[in-house]
Amino acid sequence: MKLSRREIALAALLAGAGLTEAAAAPVPPAGRTEHGARPSADPSYFTKATGGEYIAMVLYPGMTALDLIGPHYFFSTMRGARVHLVAPTMAPVACGQGITLSPTATYADVPKAVDILFVPGAGFPTLDAMKNDQLIDFLADRGERARYVTAVCIGPLLLGAAGLLKGYRATANWGIRDKVLPAVGTIPVDARYVVDGNRITGGGVTAGIDFGLHIATLLRGPDNARVCQLLAEYDPAPPFDSGSPHNAWPESVSLVQSMIAGFSDDLVAAGKARANKA
Amino acid sequence: MKLSRREIALAALLAGAGLTEAAAAPVPPAGRTEHGARPSADPSYFTKATGGEYIAMVLYPGMTALDLIGPHYFFSTMRGARVHLVAPTMAPVACGQGITLSPTATYADVPKAVDILFVPGAGFPTLDAMKNDQLIDFLADRGERARYVTAVCIGPLLLGAAGLLKGYRATANWGIRDKVLPAVGTIPVDARYVVDGNRITGGGVTAGIDFGLHIATLLRGPDNARVCQLLAEYDPAPPFDSGSPHNAWPESVSLVQSMIAGFSDDLVAAGKARANKA
């Protein structure tokens, strides 16, 4: 029987009243919701290098670094995982906003069957990426055999361009999700991350952190993921309620929408062109 | 008069009862707390390249990329800001976990008086950074004149090593904060980020996101920061309550503490050695 923290706390209270045998059961920290069973007493789930998963994180010009670096943190916290930044060659890749990342493996180095294939999003450079045959072909090839096919922000549209999200439910950056995902045959879902079969997609930029922790949980279990979260001190305290169109001021939402209206039309056109090509 | 969202909502309700003139006041999205006044109707606070702030984000070998890339996202969303990754030379810097970042400016390129000086944390490589005279001397020099002197994770200890946090209140990664900050004369504070004068410090890794948004607010005001947050879709939904020692299971906390016990002793020794040298 698995007990929630609430049940364990209740059991402890009842035990104090002599009503049950669970007297030694721990009380969870006050004021917090429960999230799964108490961790194993044997920490080898975290300390032992296990798994050896191959994680291919795709770089391309103009990509948003934070889309990738967020999940990368959690992937590389899993001991024994082989986390690679991949590109056609080992030449450094200029991401957006002055960040340049060096690949650790070329496309040719990446095994045919990887555990995770991941592609980040970008702003305007997504349009170039949609037309980049080498990138899209790589995604299509490895995506066919990958254990998990994943992306965040506008990255899901690139998976879609590679024919990997046809008929799947997926999410993406809120600003373009509902308009552009259907262009590649994908059913948009309003969620922080979405799991449909082995397709895992995350919303805009920082959603990659929740997405990364969720994938760490799938690969290594919740005890391990909770340690990853604690190492990352991921106990968020946003200064504003402005992280989604559901809680932001309407003025902020319209401002972003007005900035990306033309861009999302272009993305739809690029997505349809790809869908027709496939 | 500035109204909170709660006050605006109340005003709207009262208006319905004919008790006030604020009938047109908007009601905030349901179920959310309020965070400041309704944004300006003129979006130039976001769309116009203003400020021209020089932001120097320091790279060093072994640093944790996410410590830097989180705040970098928010800094570079501020139009007109000059955000630079700085190092002694333009040679790429190998961060931890296989990430290599290219500098965009050398130490010599960085103006004497910058708007923000920022230094990320690291794991074990922090010990090398503490002994790296070139790095510490650069922090000490630019920190003396910077408008804001900032760091996250274990980065505050490097500011401390440069003599920049003596007598200040600061935070750092929860695992080492209370033990190591006093070694450089700093008063540890248990908070996601701490502002003391022009010193701004953040907790572990992901605290850099809240920290970055707070700094964006200081530099460009809340209307701008709310748009940054919306672009980043920063509406966090951690899968577990495990982001701080206050809410994580005790087993997770002890596991991390046992891993870093020796490390934090070494950090204290390095901090004291620096304090004596100064």
CB count within 10 Å of CB A250 equals: 13
Counting other chains too, the contacts that A192-199 makes at CB distance below 8 Å and 24 or more residues apart are: A192/B235, A192/B237, A193/A152, A194/A169, A194/A170, A196/A168, A196/A169, A196/A170, A197/A168, A198/A146, A198/A147, A198/A148, A198/A149, A199/A148, A199/A149, A199/A150, A199/A159, A199/A164, A199/A165, A199/A168, A199/A170
pLDDT in tens, A16-43: 333 333 333 444 455 545 567 888 888 8
Per-residue model confidence (pLDDT) at position A4: 44
Q: Using CA atoms, how far apart are residues A6 and B215, in angstroms rounded to an integer? A: 38
Per-residue model confidence (pLDDT) at position A2: 41
To the nearest whole Å, the CA of A271 is away from the closest chain B CA by: 22
A205 located within any domain: yes
Per-residue model confidence (pLDDT) at position B51: 83
- Reported as type and span, the H/E element at residue A167 is none
Q: Using CA atoms, how far apart are residues B70 and B216, in angstroms rounded to an integer? A: 12
Q: Give me B108's structure tokens.
A: 């010599």
Sign of CA dihedral B103, B204, A238, B213: negative
Q: Kindly identify which residue of chain B lies nearest to residue A241, measuring between CA atoms.
A: B35
A213 located within any domain: yes
A12 located within any domain: no
- Reported as type and span, the H/E element at residue A108 is none
CATH of the domain at B73: 3.40.50.880
pLDDT in tens, A214-246: 999 999 999 999 999 999 999 999 989 999 999
Task: Please count the structural domains in chain B.
Answer: 1
> Which residues on B lie below 8 Å from A246 (Cβ)?
29, 235
C-alpha torsion A228→B260→A41→A5, nearest 10? -50
**ipTM at complex level:** 0.88
What range does the domain containing A227 cover? 49-234+246-277
The A residues from 75 to 134 touching B (CB cutoff 8 Å) are: 76, 83-85, 92, 96-102, 104
Per-residue model confidence (pLDDT) at position A276: 83
User: Which band of pLDDT confidence, cut at 50, 70 and 90, is reported for residue A175?
Assistant: very high
A10 located within any domain: no
pLDDT in tens, A253-265: 999 999 999 999 9
Per-residue model confidence (pLDDT) at position B24: 39
Length of chain B counted residue by residue: 278
A30 located within any domain: no
Per-residue model confidence (pLDDT) at position B35: 62
What 3-state DSSP class applies to A36?
coil
Per-residue model confidence (pLDDT) at position B43: 87
pTM: 0.89
List per-residue pLDDT tens for chain B, 278 residues long.
Answer: 343 444 344 333 333 333 333 333 444 455 545 567 888 888 888 888 888 999 999 999 999 999 999 999 999 999 999 999 999 999 999 999 999 999 999 999 999 999 999 999 999 999 999 999 999 999 999 999 999 999 999 999 999 999 999 999 999 999 999 999 999 999 999 999 999 999 999 999 999 999 999 999 999 999 999 999 999 999 999 989 999 999 999 999 999 999 999 999 999 999 999 988 86
B24 located within any domain: no
B8 located within any domain: no
Q: Using CA atoms, how far apart are residues B19 and B22, in angstroms rounded to an integer? A: 9
Per-residue model confidence (pLDDT) at position A135: 98
Closest CA to B116 of B55, B201, B194, B202: B55
Partner residue facing B244 (CB), from A102, A204, A233 = A233
Please judge whether B240 and A259 are an interchain contact, meaning their C-beta atoms are less than 8 angstroms apart: no
Per-residue model confidence (pLDDT) at position A35: 63
Please judge whether A239 and B213 are an interchain contact, meaning their C-beta atoms are less than 8 angstroms apart: yes
Residue of A219, A229, A246 to mutate, interface with B, max B Cβ within 10 Å: A229
Q: Using CA atoms, how far apart are residues B83 and B94, in angstroms rounded to an integer? A: 20
> What value does the mean pLDDT take over residues A186-200?
97
B211 located within any domain: yes
B237 CB near a chain A CB, below 8 Å? yes
**Contact between A182 and A189 (Cβ < 8 Å):** no
Q: Kindly identify which residue of chain B lies nearest to residue A174, measuring between CA atoms.
A: B233
Q: Give me A34's structure tokens.
A: 């429960």
Q: Write the DSSP string, B106-132.
A: EGGGS-SS-SEEEE--BSTHHHHHHT-
Closest CA to B128 of B277, B272, B267, B261: B267
Per-residue model confidence (pLDDT) at position A51: 83
